[in-house]
Amino acid sequence: MIVPKWLAATVVVALVGLAVMLWRSTPPAQRLALRAPAVAGVTGEVASDAPLLAPVSDVTPLDREAKRFNRYDKDKNGTITRDEYFANRRKAFAKLDTDHDGKLSFDEYSAKAIAKFDAADVSRDGKLTPAEFATTAVKRKPRTKAVCPPGARTSAPAAAEDGAEAQ
């Protein structure tokens, strides 16, 4: 039996429409929540279907700011002087100022780029071919996916629900 193309297309459109209707009938929170895989634990229990949440840090923004302040306050007197504030910049400048004359020439400023070009220019003709230029690309580490162990859950779902009800 040969099915006409229009009939097959009608069935496909109907199925897609049904899938969209089912998708829309599910609440967004349920649709998008990450679910824990059902894995047997040490006791043989199967993990529940509760959403996985990232662990909450104990470090507050105020704690971070206090640590940053303490890094700059070298004499630990509770204030940051102009010299303390610019100390890191002075060190970076001193590394670049290779002739120690207090000025940065273009060659000093671009020393790393010049060295990179010279290393890539294998033919030593002052020009980079596409193959030579390709060696100057920044080497990036491959991205790794976060792996959450099955038992790593926090008590944040209750707090998240309370925040949702308050709005």
> pLDDT digits over 123-144, tens only?
999 999 998 998 888 888 888 8
Name the more confident of 118 and 148.
118
Helix, strand or coil for residue 109? helix
Residue 22 Cα to chain centre, angstroms: 33
- Partners of residue 40 on adjacent β-strands: 46
User: Residue 47 has what pLDDT?
Assistant: 54
CB 145 within 8 A of CB 34: no
**Most confident of the ranges 1-5, 25-29, 35-39, 61-65:** 61-65
Residues in the chain, total: 167
- Residues 42, 159: Cα–Cα separation, whole Å: 28
Q: For the whole model, what pTM was predicted? A: 0.38
d(CA 121, CA 147): 42
Q: Which residues have CB under 8 Å from 49's CB, separation 6+? A: 35, 36, 38
pLDDT at 160: 47
Tokens representing 127 are 């020009």
